[in-house]
């Protein structure tokens, strides 16, 4: 079971590679969603999202990138559960921009269609 208490915050982009995850919002309002790859186009995804109010429940499927973002005015209180003791959490941004050893800037710049200066700025945020 997890518990988060955030004020105007975000849990960013995550992937639970090994488990199913569900959440129930107790206080405030959250915008949540997950991305499903488009089988017809490798470079596209479909976003499934919802605004959650207190008492709402949302399920994140196994292995899909997902996020939670507090759109309310208080600290959000969320109770979440996993169907395993090892959810295999992967924080997408820090996995990419703070890996050890680091991924070469050229690779990141081409992959994200950014220049090396922008990649360096992102790297500083996650290191």
Does 73 show up as a binding residue in the annotation?
no
Q: What are phi and psi of 72, to 5 degrees?
A: -90, -165
- Pick from 18, 94, 22, 83: which is nearest to 52 by CA? 22
> What is the C-alpha separation between 98 and 119, in angstroms, rounded?
11
Q: Which residues in 5-31 are b (16+ Cβ under 10 Å) and which e? A: ebeeeebebbbbebbebebebeebbbe
Supply the Cα-derived Rg of the chain in whole angstroms. Answer: 16
Feature table: binding site for Mn(2+): 66
Feature table: binding site: 66
């Amino acid at each position: 079971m997890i518990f988060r208490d955030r004020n105007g915050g975000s849990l960013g982009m995550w992937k639970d590679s090994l488990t199913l995850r569900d959440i129930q919002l107790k206080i405030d309002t959250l915008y949540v969603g997950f991305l499903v790859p488009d089988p017809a186009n490798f470079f596209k995804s479909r976003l499934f999202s919802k605004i959650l109010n207190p008492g709402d429940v949302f399920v994140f499927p196994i292995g899909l990138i997902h996020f939670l973002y507090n759109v309310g005015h208080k600290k959000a209180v969320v109770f979440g559960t996993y169907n395993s003791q090892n959810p295999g959490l992967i924080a997408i941004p820090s996995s990419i921009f703070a890996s050890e050893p680091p991924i070469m800037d050229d690779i990141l710049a081409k992959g994200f269609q950014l220049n090396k200066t922008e990649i360096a700025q992102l790297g500083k945020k996650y290191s």
